[in-house]
Amino acid sequence: MQALRFDEGRATVFERIRECVSGPAVETVPLDTAAGRILAEDVCADRDYPPFNRSARDGFAVIAADVQAVPATLDLIGETQAGEPSRFSLERGQTVEIMTGAPGPENADAVVMVEYSQRNGRRVQLNKPIASGRNLIMAGEEVRRGQRVLAPGRRISFASIAVLATVGRSEVPVFRRPEVAILSTGDEVLPVGATPASYQIRNSNAHSLAEQVRRRGGAPKILPVARDTLAETQRLIEVGLKSDLLLLSGGVSMGKHDVVEEVLLGLGTELFFTTVRIQPGKPLVFGYCRDTPVFGLPGNPLSTMVTFEVFASIAVDLMAGASDSPLPFMGVPLAAGFRHKPVLTRFIGARLEGSYTDTRVRIDRGGGSGDVAAFARADCLAVATEDRSEWQAGDLMQVMPL
């Protein structure tokens, strides 16, 4: 089977998964557990926002036309705090002392900040001209009652939580989480709680994958580790196929005991690709087995994490109800030059440094695809594309935050 380019591999996953996803079921969850889930329905404003003419400053509510020639001296007719109704209506030449978040008096169309005022008993001198509309947000200026404020298919962020809370949604309609079976393979792989012999290792992939799945709105289900035999690998794959999506780690390279592909084919899997020209992660299997999408991710911990992040994540996103699954790439200047052999697209753990006026990305070489400690220090993946071999310091490189 032909080795695909990075973008071809992603397009294949996207198209195949989109074919099989048919509107996941909807459930309702409490507001404070909704972040990270995918919103299932339109959310509309329950009333105008702001719901009343709201002062954005501490100061004096005025008719702006009264405060054109300064200093302007107005009659103070009262005071309104946040949390109380407005009891006043301005006439020309009058003002009301007002606090941030309080409703403006009738006829007011601006608020002069307290910093530009001098108070003398019932008279207030205002020292700065003001335009109509300043510091007083009119009812419905931000959002009209009934207007859509959140659209379905988007992941609920902390800002979406603010919107949901604002419009009074203590219960939120979200798509059901897809169950994602995680099956690690390898005779050398032991559960985290076990004491490994010198030639054994602990299962890190199942746990990093579970967290990656959770972050995308999936429900991970970690299966026992499969020994590298056809029988046991097949038995556990068949368990995993009962979930909505199956992620395997390990056993997809060319080694004598890499049995995953053979077992999948024996079970009648339709494979869409088995190799993508990326590093880490070149052997990467994607197919459908008995209507369940299956990824065979390479077992090296960095390969597993990176191939999930750039390929399998698409499946979890779409199956969790997201309408799209873009990667958040941005161009950042390199802190130092970089070269690679341009046959593969490389994803390299990197760090952002500098300040918000001069951000750079630094790529640390070294740290192989098993070096989880080095990778854990990275805060983004830098992408060295397969069509370019050299970047100078200062050249833009695409990076993707982790």
Interacting positions 331-370 with ligand AMP (CB under 6 A): 370
Of these partners, Mg ion, ligand AMP, none, which one is at the site of residue 253 (CB under 5 to 8 Å by kind)? ligand AMP
Question: Using CA atoms, how far apart are residues 136 and 99, in angstroms rounded to an integer?
Answer: 11
SS3 sequence of 129-198: CCCCCCCEECCCCCECCCCEEECCCCECCHHHHHHHHHCCCCEEEEECCCEEEEEEECCCEECCCCCCCC
For residue 174, CA distances in Å to 140, 177, 216 come to 27, 9, 13
Bond preceding residue 50 cis, omega within 30 of 0 = yes
| Number of residues engaging ligand AMP in binding (CB under 6 A) | 20
Tell which one of 53, 86, 184, 233 touches ligand AMP (CB under 6 A): 184
Residue placing its CB nearer to ligand AMP in the complex, 253 or 398: 253
The reply on whether position 50 binds ligand AMP by CB under 6 A is no
For residue 82, CA distances in Å to 63, 112, 136, 185, 366 come to 20, 17, 13, 61, 58
Q: Give the three-class secondary structure for 291.
A: coil
Q: Are 66 and 76 in contact, with CB atoms under 8 Å apart?
A: no
Q: Are 110 and 135 in contact, with CB atoms under 8 Å apart?
A: yes
Q: Select from 150-158, 229-237, 263-271, 294-302 the region that touches Mg ion (CB under 5 A).
A: 294-302
Of these partners, ligand AMP, Mg ion, none, which one is at the site of residue 205 (CB under 5 to 8 Å by kind)? ligand AMP
Closest distance to ligand AMP from the beta carbon of 297 (Å): 8
Tell which one of 24, 50, 178, 186 touches Mg ion (CB under 5 A): 186
The reply on whether position 249 binds ligand AMP by CB under 6 A is yes
Of these partners, ligand AMP, Mg ion, none, which one is at the site of residue 24 (CB under 5 to 8 Å by kind)? none
What lies within 8 Å, CB to CB, of 360 at 6+ separation is: 332, 333, 334, 335, 352, 353, 354
The reply on whether position 280 binds ligand AMP by CB under 6 A is no
Q: Are 4 and 344 in contact, with CB atoms under 8 Å apart?
A: no
Interacting positions 242-281 with Mg ion (CB under 5 A): 250-251
Q: Select from 37-45, 66-74, 244-252, 269-277 the region that touches ligand AMP (CB under 6 A).
A: 244-252
Question: Using CA atoms, how far apart are residues 157 and 136, in angstroms rounded to an integer?
Answer: 28
Question: Using CA atoms, how far apart are residues 388 and 381, in angstroms rounded to an integer?
Answer: 17
Residue placing its CB nearer to ligand AMP in the complex, 255 or 268: 255
Which residue in 269, 212, 218 sits closest to 241, CA to CA?
A: 269
Residue placing its CB nearer to ligand AMP in the complex, 53 or 205: 205
x/- mask, Mg ion, residues 299-318, rule CB under 5 A, reads x-------------------
Of these partners, ligand AMP, Mg ion, none, which one is at the site of residue 184 (CB under 5 to 8 Å by kind)? ligand AMP
Residues near ligand AMP (CB under 6 A) are: 184, 186, 188-189, 201, 203-206, 249-251, 253, 255, 258, 298-301, 370
Residues binding Mg ion (CB under 5 A): 186, 250-251, 299
